[in-house]
Amino acid sequence: MPFITGKHLPRRTVLRGMGVTLALPFLDAFVPAGRPWRRVAAAQSLDDPTRLVCIENVHGAAGSTEYGAAQHLWSPAATGGEFDLTPSALSPLEPYRDVLTIISDTDVAPAEAVTPPEIGGDHFRSSATFLTQSHPKQTESSDVRSGISIDQLYAQRFGQTTPIPSMQLCIENVDQAGGCAYGYSCVYTDTISWASPTDPLPMIRDPRLAFDQLFGAGGTSEERATRRRQRRSVLDFITDEVAVLQRELDPTDRQRMDRYLNDIREIERRIQRVEARNLNGETRELPGSPAGVPDSFDEHVKLMFDLQVLAFETDITRVFSFKLSRDATGRVYPESGIDRGFHPTSHHGGREENIETFARLNRYHVGLVPYFLDKLQRIEEGDGTLLDKSMIIYGSPMGDPNVHNHKRCPLFVVGGANGKLAGNLHLRAAPGTPMANVMLDLIHRLGIDDIEQFGDSTGEFSLSA
């Protein structure tokens, strides 16, 4: 392995095998003995970057209704730092309140209808507004237009030194072409990530494709198919390289490498089990889905979270957008204990009992996020953890789904963002405050200081206490 020079390794050290490129997790060997992490980071142009994850869930929240707000079904009653999450859909985040910032009652006006032909099309333009805060052009052709999304602003500024500037992941089917409904192209519901106002980015649904992209599992399609049939691991092709590297590392770094390699192999096994299950000829819950896509929503989301953790750990990319659902989806989530589809449940008819049921579904979705936070928190990097160095935005561009409005939309941010977010904070916006004002503040906290307006922002909504 000619790239190894003693015990000090460059941060971009990789292991290569036949069609495989394996980046390394952060190791003490990247830091010369006796030199502070911050100084080494600057010298190696590591700049201790913030990792950005933008998660969209559709259909708003029960707490955006008048009854739900009164019952605190989304956000807590108190603002500041002395808030009680118990009655809210955010209660699963209690263990992480120290890095949690809740922003209540902001609006996404760009998702509203502007002209009469747009009335009724909220489900088919909302996702395009979440990270752009821009009103999408009503069209079923290729002349789509929205705005550049916050994840891509960050990727274009700070993601160009990583092997992959950004990745876009999703859970539901996004391969529909042409028009969807109400005169809108399906691309508006298929992606939340826009590289420019006219350049929507495709999203990856299949964990196998995401895994192969992260670990350079190349070769021909026939070679990849053979490897999968033989159930061989990407690690099988770098065994010798790993052995040589391990001899050069100290005991702490060897333990880190062992854990990292075990994590890769475990994720690979899970993907293989999903593929084997879906190719056994039995009827699937998601007919027509790729073999690598689990029928279980829980399993699918957790696999995608695990892949994001590995990508951040190895600095393959620093930016993810993650779309949990597709607008107007009728999917049922058995693990939630609710036997009705997402879309019908969201149309609660204003009945208190139905709103409470929808709140349970909101809590179920939020309850998957701590799995991701747990994994980020356990990984140390330099002088902190990956959770300390991450900004995770979670929200929806819709408010009350029963009436398809975009007021009092759910939004929270979790993670330390490299010290830019204090956490343990609930902020309530004044009526009519654009969500774009919050996004503008986040843009500045991400280090993009020269942008004065984003989407329909009217100023910066500070996330400081």
The CATH number of the domain holding residue 183 is: 3.40.720.10
Asked if 397 and 111 count as a contact pair (C-beta separation under 8 A), the reply is yes
Residues 82 and 217 in one domain: no
Of 292, 313, 334, the domain-final residue: 292
Residues 44 and 59 in one domain: no
Residues 20 and 134 in one domain: no
Total domains present in the chain: 2
Residues 16 and 59 in one domain: no
Residue 174 has a pLDDT of: 77
Residues 405 and 457 in one domain: yes
Average pLDDT over residues 433-456: 97
Question: Taking the model in full, what pTM does it have?
Answer: 0.94
Mean per-residue pLDDT of the chain: 91
Domain ranges, residue 20: 1-48+211-292
Residues 376 and 337 in one domain: yes
DSSP string, 1-29: -TT-BTTB--TT-EEEETTEEEE----GG
Of 268, 292, 316, the domain-final residue: 292
Residue 223 pLDDT exceeds 80: no
Residues 342 and 462 in one domain: yes
Residue 214 has a pLDDT of: 92
User: In this structure, what DSSP letter does residue 186 have?
Assistant: T
Residues 324 and 424 in one domain: yes
Residue 38 pLDDT exceeds 60: no
User: Taking CA 172 as the corner, what is the angle to CA 167 and CA 173, rounded to the nearest 5 degrees?
Assistant: 95
- Asked which of 128-137, 150-159, 170-179, 215-224 is least confident by mean pLDDT, the reply is 215-224
Task: Say which residues have a Cβ less than 8 Å from residue 427's Cβ, sequence separation at least 6.
Answer: 79, 101, 102, 103, 104, 461, 463
Residues 197 and 340 in one domain: yes
Runs of H (alpha helix) within 238-296: 239-248, 251-278
Task: Say which residues have a Cβ less than 8 Å from residue 369's Cβ, sequence separation at least 6.
Answer: 55, 92, 93, 392, 394, 414
Pairing of strands 100-104, 411-414: antiparallel
Residue 41 has a pLDDT of: 52
Residues 88 and 160 in one domain: yes
Contacts of residues 367-373 at CB distance under 8 Å and 24 or more positions apart, as own/partner, are 367/92, 368/298, 368/301, 368/302, 368/305, 369/55, 369/92, 369/93, 369/394, 369/414, 370/92, 370/93, 370/95, 370/96, 371/301, 371/302, 371/305, 372/53, 372/305, 372/308, 372/309, 373/96, 373/414, 373/415
Residues 313 and 233 in one domain: no
Residues 239 and 280 in one domain: yes
Of 276, 292, 308, the domain-final residue: 292
User: Taking CA 85 as the corner, what is the angle to CA 170 and CA 338, rounded to the nearest 5 degrees?
Assistant: 50
Q: For the chain, how big is the Rg over CA atoms in Å?
A: 22
Asked if 361 and 345 count as a contact pair (C-beta separation under 8 A), the reply is yes
Average pLDDT over residues 368-395: 96
Both tokens assigned to 77 = 């009653």
Q: At 19, which amino acid appears?
A: G
More confident residue, 449 or 5: 449
